[in-house]
Amino acid sequence: MSRIDGRTPDQLRPVTIQRGWSKHAEGSVLVSFGDTKVLCTASVTEGVPRWRKGSGEGWVTAEYAMLPRATNTRGDRESVRGKIGGRTHEISRLIGRSLRAVIDYKALGENTIVLDCDVLQADGGTRTAAITGAYVALADAVAWAQRKKLVKHGRHPLTGTVSAVSVGIVDGVPLLDLCYEEDVRAETDMNVVCTGDGRFVEVQGTAEAQPFARAELDALLDLAVKGSADLDAAQRAALEQTM
């Protein structure tokens, strides 16, 4: 069985990670997973939120959003509606937690890094692309902070790498990195955030149509670990390029 776009079940869509996209941000990446394009910027500011002052520890947080016409049908702007939807909140929180999993707060010192992940075009997997791109933007921002001496010598603020990928069961077959059309048809849908050494940061599986069995869950996790390793390689390749 071949997929809509000709991929094998365990194949990622073409992944591109373009660093230095913005002239203003301390780290900025335009990441694409196929037709899904997310602009991830990392903004460094000295100081931390009030509840963390004097702790000697830094903070990392994230905000996710979608341009109104990133999708096939135009959506209302959340700024116009005057409130953020549940889905937006949920994804912003997921991205923040995922990146904090590889941050050494003490080593970061009392600095705050905000990751903005704005989906310019959506075709499934926007949150996983966002996490994968945001990690690279974060790495660039940390390097900037080190060059500016905001971060002291010694322990590196990043304790590892992190990326994310979606997996799901479509017509009974476990597939890696679902595009929108596959996502809509998936019986089960899972987003998995892994570190570069193959451990889990987040596992979020949802039965869309039918509850799923343990064996299905295991097959999806296998697939996700495989995809994560591929993304980890793509991130490393991008970070090795000179800008």
155: contact with a copy of itself by CB under 8 A: no
Residue 232 has phi, psi (to 5 degrees) of -60, -40
Q: Which of 69, 106, 147, 152: binder of a copy of itself (CB under 8 A)? A: 69
In angstroms, what CA-CA distances link 81 with 22, 39, 85, 93?
Answer: 28, 23, 9, 20
Contact set for a copy of itself, span 114-133 (CB under 8 A)? 114, 116, 118, 120-123
Residue type, 43: S
Report residue 227 CA to chain centroid gap: 13
Q: Which of 52, 205, 219, 239: binder of a copy of itself (CB under 8 A)? A: 205
Numbered residues of the known binding site for phosphate: 87, 125-127
CA atoms of 213 and 218, how far apart (whole Å): 9
Annotate 150-160 with b (16+ C-beta within 10 A) or e (fewer).
bbeeeeebbeb
Q: Which is nearer to a copy of itself, 63 or 110 (CB)?
A: 63
Footprint on this chain of a copy of itself (rule: CB under 8 A): 22-25, 28, 35, 39, 41, 43, 45, 63, 65, 67-72, 74, 77-80, 82-90, 92-93, 97, 101, 114, 116, 118, 120-123, 160, 190, 194-195, 197-207, 210-214, 217, 221, 225
